Amino acid sequence: MHKLRSRAVLFGAAALAIVPSLANGQVPPMDHTTDPMAMSSISLGGDWSLAGMAQAFPVLTVGAPGEDPDGPLRRTEWYVTQPAIMTHLEGWGQRLVLHTTLNFEGLVQENGELSRFSISAGRGFAPFGTSDPMARPGLKFPTNHHLSQILERWTLNAIWHRDRWSVEAGLFGGDEPDGPYDFSNIESFGDSWAVRVARRWGSGSGPDSELEASASVGNVTELAHTSSEETTWLWNAALRPSLTLGNAHLYGLVEASRSYLEDHEDFFSVLAEARYDRAGHQPYLRVEYASRPEYEREATSGSDFFRYHDHDDPLGSTRWLIATAAYAYELTQSPWSVRPFIEVQHHQVRGDRGDVAATDLYGTTSFWALSVGARIFLIGGPMRMGAYGVLDPMTEMNRGMNAMPM
State yes or no: pLDDT of 73 exceeds 90: no
Q: Specify the pLDDT at position 106.
A: 64
Distance CA(273)–CA(254), nearest Å, equals: 7
Q: Specify the pLDDT at position 196.
A: 98
State yes or no: pLDDT of 320 exceeds 80: yes
Query: What count of Cα atoms within 13 Å lies in the side-chain half-sphere of residue 89?
Result: 8
Position 5 in a domain: no
Position 247 in a domain: yes
Distance CA(109)–CA(126), nearest Å, equals: 24
- The number of folded domains in the chain is 1
Position 200 in a domain: yes
Position 4 in a domain: no
Contacts of 226 (CB under 8 A, 6+ apart): none
Cβ atoms of 164 and 201 within 8 Å: the answer is yes
Position 2 in a domain: no
Contacts of 276 (CB under 8 A, 6+ apart): 248, 249, 250, 282, 283, 284
Domain that holds residue 303: 10-403
State yes or no: pLDDT of 366 exceeds 80: yes
**191-203: pLDDT as tens digits:** 999 999 999 999 8
**240-252: pLDDT as tens digits:** 999 999 999 999 9
What is the full DSSP assignment across 208-236?
T-SEEEEEEEEEEEEE-TTS-EEEEEEEE
Position 380 in a domain: yes
Q: Specify the pLDDT at position 3.
A: 38
Position 347 in a domain: yes
Position 244 in a domain: yes
Q: What is the CATH number of the domain that holds 105?
A: 2.40.160.10
Confidence band for 375, pLDDT divided at 50, 70 and 90:
very high
**110-167: pLDDT as tens digits:** 663 445 777 788 888 999 999 999 889 998 889 898 899 998 889 999 999 988 999 9
